[in-house]
Amino acid sequence: MEKVSSPVRFAGRNERSLLSSIVGGLISFAIFSLSFLVILSLVAYKNADPTRLIQPFSYTALCMSAFVFGFTSGKLRRKQGALVGLISGLLLTFILFAVSSAINVGASTTPLGMAVCLYLAVIALATIGGLAGTQQKHKKKRRRR
């Protein structure tokens, strides 16, 4: 009997679809960013002038959360880390742009150059996170003697 192989390959047990890995990454992004913002707000509250720390802390939380988004999405997908991270970063950038446009209808307090750099940093960190999430550790096998 001949073994017939199908040209269609299905994802195995260890791999998830792209959409489910992005949704899982988005959930981890929300949980991480909220918890990290709570911690940073407590740190800012203990400071004498907490208003000057709002912008740097929020940018720090956004960048770290973008990395976590890409990392978790890549970890769930377990392959194509650059693609998963890039899609995660682009989705997050789109969400940020839509929310900031809805909040700041006519005028924005952030200069255009800084906003573009922030969006590029989010995309880059999510892509790096996706690559880091797909890296697997090579376990050394013990040889029997």
Q: What is the pLDDT of residue 97?
A: 87
Judge whether 87 lies within some domain: yes
Judge whether 24 lies within some domain: yes
Judge whether 105 lies within some domain: yes
CA atoms within 13 A on the CB side of 89: 26
Q: By residue range, what is the domain housing residue 28?
A: 18-134
Judge whether 8 lies within some domain: no
Judge whether 5 lies within some domain: no
Is the pLDDT confidence value at 6 over 80? Answer: no
d(CA 60, CA 68): 12
Judge whether 143 lies within some domain: no
- Threshold 0.85, pTM exceeds: no
Question: Long-range contacts made by residues 45-54, C-beta under 8 angstroms, separation at least 24?
Answer: none
Nearest to 58 by CA among 43, 42, 70, 40: 40
Judge whether 110 lies within some domain: yes
Mean pLDDT calculated for residue range 104-131: 86
Using one digit for the tens of pLDDT, what is the confidence trace for 85-117?
999 999 999 998 888 888 877 676 778 788 889
Judge whether 2 lies within some domain: no
Q: How many domains does the chain have?
A: 1
φ/ψ of 111, rounded to 5, equals -65, 155
